[in-house]
Amino acid sequence: MKVGLLLAESRGGIGQHVASLVPRYAAAGHQVTVCSPAETAEHFDFTPAGLVREPTLLRGCDVVHAHGYKAGLAARRTRLRPLVVTWHNAVLVTGVRGAVLRLGQRVVARSADLTLGASSDLVGLAQRYGARQARLAPVAAPRLPERVRDRAEVRAALGLTDEPLVLSVGRLAPQKDYPLLLSVADGVRGRLSDAVFAVVGDGPLRPELEERIAAEGLPVRLLGHRGDVGDLLAAADVFLLTSHWEARALVVQEAMQAGVPVVARPVGGIPELVGDAALLGRDAAELTDQVCLVLTDAGTAVTMRDGGRRRAATWPDEDAVAAQLLDTYAGLIASRG
């Protein structure tokens, strides 16, 4: 099979997902071509795929798989068929821009031969928007790299000894709702004065968050971009996700693989991802209660660590996801004769 993979600018999960598919497709004997902006190709390793910049250069492929709405629109404009489009994200903005983006979603849903959703709510949305076929297609988190430092070393580097450590990972952008995280940190501080919150990631909200942290004296550290998330997870007592919405958050998958108790909001695909292996709360008060419960009740923490690992063992890994997608492509091609 000649497989074309099309994506727009990405520095996060979409690019990481495509980069995981390429070598697996090639190892299965398929010819892979990736079309992406130059900056995305430079950021990710799409070896051994051929690289092109224009979607029209994918016209010789047996199937084209576009990742995201922008990529789906580009595929539609260039009449690429058969076309698979994966929806990785929801449209969260409002106003005129939100209306335009949702119109784009409708166009993409009706244009694709097959729409895949990273979470069930996205599948339902695509169906409501007129998708010909729509089904769930989980995106797997990569295996955690081997730890370089042990828990004590990582905590020492952060200036910690036995203090409770709550970790979050994600771009400092509106979707992640870090103002809510700061409110949770304030609430936890009122009960556990030595608790520390650490946030890995950078982004446009950093100055605003730094200002509030300083003004309120919050126990929150913005660590910026880090390449040692696996080590930091080993040092953490709780992983906290405060996002307005997530499909199948890779960082939650990584935390549960590592056996870190997860506290999150019940948004998007999070409930179906974690099952009963995480604690879910809708607002600062509920999330504060749950973080404090994990930090003060050793039995709850152990149960969540074990339950998280068991839940993670049920998820398809990157090899399984790639194999499922190849089967999907073959079935789609066969159905078109």
Query: Which residues are registered as beta bridge partners of 168?
Result: 199
How many CB atoms within 10 Å of residue 54?
10
Residues 6+ apart with CB under 8 A from 171: 12, 201, 202, 203
**For residues 222 and 332, what is the distance between their CA atoms, to the nearest angstrom?**
46
Q: What single string gives the DSSP state of each residue in 172-196?
A: SSGGG-HHHHHHHHHHHHTT-TT-E
Residues 6+ apart with CB under 8 A from 110: 129, 130, 131, 132
φ, ψ at 122 (rounded to 5°): -70, -40
Instruction: Identify the CATH homologous superfamily for domain 151-313.
Output: Glycogen Phosphorylase B; (3.40.50.2000)
**For residues 26 and 293, what is the distance between their CA atoms, to the nearest angstrom?**
47
The whole-number pLDDT of residue 313 equals 94
* Spans of all domains in the chain: 2-140+317-335, 151-313
The whole-number pLDDT of residue 44 equals 94
**For residues 145 and 11, what is the distance between their CA atoms, to the nearest angstrom?**
19
Same fold, 2-140+317-335 and 151-313: yes
The whole-number pLDDT of residue 143 equals 81
2-140+317-335 — its CATH code? 3.40.50.2000
How many CB atoms within 10 Å of residue 43?
17
- Dihedral of CA atoms 43, 48, 54, 56 in degrees, nearest 10, equals -150
- Using a 10 angstrom Cβ sphere, with 0-12 exposed, 13-18 middle and 19 or more buried, the burial of residue 180 is middle
The whole-number pLDDT of residue 189 equals 97
Percent helix / strand / coil, the chain, rounded to 5: 45, 15, 35
CB 200 within 8 A of CB 167: yes
The whole-number pLDDT of residue 146 equals 77
Local mean pLDDT, 10-residue blocks, the chain (337 residues): 96 91 98 97 94 96 96 94 95 93 95 96 97 94 81 94 97 96 98 97 97 98 94 97 95 96 97 97 98 98 97 95 97 88
How many CB atoms within 10 Å of residue 154?
21
